[in-house]
Amino acid sequence: MDKKMKELSWPTFHEESNVKYKVSVNQPVIKGERLLVVTFTKNTGYQAVGYAQETIDLRVICKKKYGVPTIIDKEGSQRRLFLNILLGCYYHYFFIEDADKKRIASYIKSNENNTSYLVKEFLTWIQKAWDTEAMEKRKAQGKLMDEDYALCPEELPNGLVEWIRRYILPEDNVIIHKQGGWKGKCYACGQDVKANANRRFKHQHSSKCPNCGTEVICYRDTSDNWNATTVENIVAVQKGTDGKTVFFRQWRLLRDHTARWENIPRSLKEVARYAIREKETAKWQKEGKESHFYGCERYTLDNRTKWRGNCIYDNGFTFFPGGVQENLAGTQMQYADLEGYLRSARGYSKNPIYFLEYFVKYPVTEFLWKAGYHKLLHEKIWGLKKEDRNAILWQRKKLKECFRFPIRLLKVLPPEEWTMDKVAITSEMWKRRGSGLTEDELKAALHLGNSVKELERALNYASVVKISKYIEKQHEEGKGTESKLYSVPADTIRTYRDYLYECEQLQLPLTDNMILFPPHLMAAHERTMAQVKFEKNKADQEKFQKQIKKLEKYIWEDGGLLIRPPVQQEEIAKEGVVLHHCVGGYIQQVAEGTTAILFLRHAAEPDKPFYTLELNPKTLKVVQCRTDQNKSYDREPEIKEFVETWLQKVVHKRKKKKAA
């Protein structure tokens, strides 16, 4: 900042009113140029009327010859973001002298007299100046501008119509039927058809055309289904009139409801344009859509709208191969093996737009493709999983720099077998072992696949080769049993992972090979699982036993019947199973002391379930007393009389003694 500008004083303003800023104007001459300096001084009395929004003093420096307006604070720091704050508060009162108001109005060529509206117009003028500057910079850098869609020729590519008639329409095996499913039109044979008496056309179900016998899919003509109105998305490549920009035009081939297709160009509705120029990409849409649960509503946009993203409209398309080499000639994409990509994209969604875009955007793409690592490119184009996004450093310019490990390790597999998952595993193994990583270890890790991450605990104690051999042996042994413990290797790996976790919980020494590699994995897993469960329930068991101790005072035997509390949690669970009721779910409540469970038994068979009694520990009233199939003790007077006698002689008697 110029010294004279720094020397300009910052005024103060205090007034208990709804005036938020005082606006003052200076016109200093610096380096032979007269500037317009507009200072926004906050009103320190503004807080007194109930507004708490933070404000700061700002200064706008406007030059006539050089640059664009700049907003600074008292320290000279640029504060562009505060323009939005000023714009947001323009409806508050500003204080400005008439002379200063005229200076601003003259500078921006305004006739506005209202102070607040003049300030807003001034701030809007600043924003426009910034936008113009940004646009000029984008043009100078060769960026794709909003209006660049017009560089694309409007005429259809040569041969497109004939290609549609030859390759697209014969594959359109659908019947569009009326409500009710009795009448429709078959687009395989082009005839109006009627459904057979016993089989109406059903929306989104397969059928056979009654006329030509072709296997078709049926769609109701009034549905929102894309197939009811559209045959296919079609994309073709064309070179822009500037000779530098390559466009990919996308059309929806709308249905000709006569099925005669006499005028295919009329059925083509352009919905999007994608552009690639050097490393710049852009997308314009002419059609919008709003998806909902049952379908999708489409609408035509007033103008071609440029979108930030370049995602493919409607997700997929069929690519017209005509004129590709001709249109890519002279661009950075002319050496891209597009034909090879389209041939090798088996099992993947073909997207030549992204293939060509990544070819120019990431230089390493060309080297990966030429070296035969095709699957890596297909996965990148298809869309990477979150955990694989950084497996390759796509911005690097050399093959040896794009991997997080030495490229000599790529030799352990043929190029066509490498996937993103395998690259990620190799990166992780190299990070763990460094230069000590051998080819045998890497092969073993790749053989285990993503499961190697689940065996991280074991890798702290043994090599991946040894772990892999152990998993393989246990899998074969488990597969040979009648129960077929491990139907797939992943089952064995998950069991081993859980076993290792349990060992750590029990603080077992995994440095001991007999613990790390038990001869019979499933048996060892069952033992550790039971022990972990026991340890986990130990605290609950202690609470449970404390409550049972309190219930021992209610033990009573008379007339061949006995009432006693359970001894262990398992006894309550068994009671529920034998008597077919739900007392097994009361274990936690007993441990917490919110309810009390006691057993009513024949004295001669104290361990054989007979009746289960629930007692409210606070009111000392019987909540319920039930036997087999949840039958209440009300049905047996002898049992009910025994319980009531027990309440009087044992439960309530003890309560009276405690009260005394």
| Structure confidence by residue, pLDDT tens digits, 499-539 | 888 888 888 888 888 889 998 888 888 888 877 776 667 66
- Residue 485: the pLDDT is 46
In whole angstroms, what is the distance from residue 346 CA to residue 349 CA? Answer: 8
- Residues 192, 256 share a domain: yes
In whole angstroms, what is the distance from residue 411 CA to residue 73 CA? Answer: 60
In whole angstroms, what is the distance from residue 96 CA to residue 654 CA? Answer: 90
- Residues 384, 411 share a domain: yes
- Residues 67, 32 share a domain: yes
- Residue 293: the pLDDT is 66
- Residues 570, 619 share a domain: yes
Which H helix or E strand runs over 180? Answer: none
Q: Which domain holds residue 415?
A: 362-421
Does a structural domain hold residue 347? no
- Residue 486: the pLDDT is 46
- How far is Cα of residue 586 from the mean position of the Cα atoms in its chain? 41
Which segments of the chain have a pLDDT < 70? 1-2, 47-54, 65-67, 85, 87-92, 293-294, 478-488, 534-536, 538-539, 655-660
- Residue 463: the pLDDT is 87
List for the chain the helix, strand, coil content (%; round to 5).
Answer: 45, 20, 35
Indicate the residue among 533, 564, 588 that finishes a domain.
Answer: 533
Which H helix or E strand runs over 98? Answer: helix 98-107
In whole angstroms, what is the distance from residue 588 CA to residue 202 CA? Answer: 54
In whole angstroms, what is the distance from residue 156 CA to residue 607 CA? Answer: 90
- Residues 378, 297 share a domain: no
Taking the alpha carbons at both ends of the chain, their separation in whole angstroms is 92
Indicate the residue among 77, 106, 140 that finishes a domain.
Answer: 140
Which DSSP letter does residue 612 get? E
AA letter at 47: Q
In whole angstroms, what is the distance from residue 626 CA to residue 631 CA? Answer: 5
- Residue 261: the pLDDT is 94
Strands 33-34 and 36-42: unpaired
Does a structural domain hold residue 184? yes
Tokens, residue 584: 């097994």
- Residue 215: the pLDDT is 95
- Residues 639, 493 share a domain: no
Does a structural domain hold residue 427? no
**pLDDT tens digits for range 199-231:** 899 999 999 999 999 999 999 998 888 899 999
Does a structural domain hold residue 467? yes
CB proximity list for 580: less than 8 A, separation 6 or greater: 628, 629, 630
Tokens, residue 488: 């797939």
Q: Whose CA is closest to 60, among 3, 7, 106, 127? A: 127
Tell whether the torsion through CA atoms of 188, 190, 195 and 200 is positive or negative.
Answer: positive
Half-sphere exposure at residue 7, Cβ-oriented, CA atoms within 13 angstroms: 6
- How far is Cα of residue 494 from the mean position of the Cα atoms in its chain? 26
Indicate the residue among 421, 436, 471 that finishes a domain.
Answer: 421
Q: Whose CA is closest to 323, among 148, 149, 163, 166? A: 163
- Residues 607, 489 share a domain: no
Does a structural domain hold residue 403? yes
- Residues 155, 135 share a domain: no
Which DSSP letter does residue 79 get? -
- Residues 183, 87 share a domain: no
**Cα-based torsion angle of the residue sequence 442, 446, 447, 450 in order, rounded to the nearest 10 degrees:** 140
Q: Which residues of 614-631 are buried (b: 16+ CB within 10 A; e: fewer)?
A: bbeeeeeebeebbbeeee
Output phi, psi for 395, to 5 deg: -80, -10
Which H helix or E strand runs over 539? Answer: helix 521-551
Does a structural domain hold residue 426? no
Neighbours of 596 (CB within 10 A): 22
- Residue 52: the pLDDT is 46
In whole angstroms, what is the distance from residue 170 CA to residue 176 CA? Answer: 16
Does a structural domain hold residue 352? no
- Residues 122, 14 share a domain: yes
Helices (DSSP H) in 273-371: which residue ranges?
A: 324-328, 338-344, 352-361, 364-370
- Residue 214: the pLDDT is 95
Does a structural domain hold residue 65? yes
For 543-567, give the DSSP string.
HHHHHHHHHGGG-EEETTEEEE--S
- Residue 88: the pLDDT is 63
- Residues 75, 103 share a domain: yes
Burial of 523 (0-12, 13-18, 19+ CB in 10 A): exposed
- Collapsing DSSP to helix, strand or coil, 198 comes out as coil
pTM: 0.64
> Domain total for the chain?
5
Tokens, residue 105: 């109005």
- Residue 552: the pLDDT is 93
For 10-56, give the DSSP string.
------SSSEEEEEEEE--EETTEE-EEEEEEE-TTGGGGT------
- Residues 71, 108 share a domain: yes
Output phi, psi for 160, to 5 deg: -65, -45
- Collapsing DSSP to helix, strand or coil, 301 comes out as strand
